[in-house]
Amino acid sequence: MTQSRAAVLLEVKEASRAFGGLKAVSEVSLHIDQGELIGLIGPNGAGKTTLFNLLTGVYPPSSGSILLNNESIGGMKPYRINHKGAARTFQNIRLFTAMTVLENVKIAFHQHARHSLFSSMLRLPKHFQGEEEITRKAMDILSIFNLADQGDEIASNLSYGNQRRLEIARALAAGPKLLLLDEPAAGMNPNETRDLMNLIAWIREEFDLTILLIEHDMSLVMGVCNRIYVLDRGILIADGTPAEIRNNPKVIEAYLGQEA
């Protein structure tokens, strides 16, 4: 490990992904430093979610490389990438709907469980210690998100806003270094959105996280992000500080072209 590169957490080099003839992501290169809060914006269908899917291993990149902590994760299976320290939420919420709120969070702690299958089947003392530890940690996370009193509620019974928050809580429980949020504010009203953005800023401080945030709505990310990448039709068309992005003619064109 080179000292000068230690600050870079995620580095994407010319990553592409094609579906049939369509290049959903085309030679995208980007880097995210430790502790940054980065926005990834672009009009509908720009390939933002596809890029997320490459980063989290849902499918391997057709070409190019992805490095997390200087380790290549391109083409790794999603659970391995999660173990390496990248956790995500989904644009269309993917909770374990029939499980309770608490159980949803417990799943993320599974990888850190110290009790084996064997000790669980035979109910050895290790099983009880392990389960107790998972429950305690999961409750801690839920408290942070003000969901602790709804721990025994079935996940699908939560309000829409709380389901989104639970998904973030679950991702956080995996103990990631990099948190990838796919349109976390989709479908929320302006008040909820503002609260959520504050929460994201807060957990970033609290957990020493690096965050990559997809947002469709440009104005939303301007306030919170350090830097912003703009994707349009699979191509990275701009990157820079919010102020730079706001005045970038290419970005304006991409968005206006969409509106028209």
Partner 1 sequence: MEYFIQQLINGISVGSIYALIALGYTMVYGIIKLINFAHGDVFMVGSFIGLYSAKYLAAAGLPPVVVLLLSLIISMTISACLGISIERLAYKPLRKSTRIAALITAIGVSFLLEYTGVLILGPQAKGFPDIMDKKQVHLFGSSIQVESNQIMILLTTIILMLVLQYIVRYTKTGKAMRAVSFDVEAARLMGINVDRTISATFAIGSALAAAAGVIFGMTYNSVDPLMGVMPGLKAFVAAVLGGIGSIPGALVGGLLLGTVETEISSLGFSSWRDGVAFAVLILILIFRPSGLFGKNVREKV
Partner 2 sequence: MRKLNKKFWLGILVALAFYGIVKVLLTTGILSDVNQSMLLLIGVNIMLAVSLNLITGITGQFSIGHAGFMSVGAYTSAILTLDYNVPFVPAIIAGGLLAAVFGVLIGMPTLRLSGDYLAIATLGFGEIIRIIMLNTEYVGGASGLSGIPAKTTWTMLFFFTLLSVVLINNFIRSTHGRACIAIRENEIAAEAMGINTTRYKIIAFTIGALFAGMAGGLSAHTFYVITPGSFNFLKSFEIIVMVVLGGLGSTAGSIVGAVFVTLLYTYLREFPEWRMIIYSIVLILMMIFRPSGLLGSTRFSFGKSGKKEAKANDAIESSSTS
Q: Distance between CA atoms of 200 and 98, rounded to whole angstroms?
A: 26
CB of 63 to partner 2, least distance (A): 19
Q: Which amino acid is at 10?
A: L
The reply on whether position 229 binds partner 1 by CB under 8 A is no
Q: Which residues contact 187 (CB under 8 A, 6 or more apart)?
A: 160, 164
Q: Distance between CA atoms of 252 and 260, rounded to whole angstroms?
A: 12
Which residue's structure tokens are 């309770």? 100
Binding site for partner 2 (CB under 8 A): 22, 24, 44-45, 47, 49-50, 56, 58, 77-79, 82-83, 87-88, 90-92, 94-99, 103, 106-111, 113, 115, 117, 120-123, 127-128, 130-132, 134, 154, 156, 170-171, 174
> Exposed, middle or buried, 98 (CB in 10 Å: 0-12/13-18/19+)?
exposed
Our CB check for partner 2 shows the closer of 38 and 87 to be 87
The reply on whether position 58 binds partner 1 by CB under 8 A is yes
The one among 42, 76, 89, 90 contacting partner 1 by CB under 8 A: 90
Q: Taking a C-beta distance cutoff of 8 angstroms, is the pair 65, 136 a contact?
A: no
> Exposed, middle or buried, 182 (CB in 10 Å: 0-12/13-18/19+)?
buried
The one among 49, 89, 104, 150 contacting partner 1 by CB under 8 A: 49
CB of 64 to partner 2, least distance (A): 19
Q: How many residues bind partner 1 (CB under 8 A)?
A: 4
The reply on whether position 53 binds partner 1 by CB under 8 A is yes
DSSP state of 155: G
CB of 48 to partner 1, least distance (A): 12
CB of 102 to partner 2, least distance (A): 10
Binding stretches for partner 1 (CB under 8 A): 49, 53, 58, 90
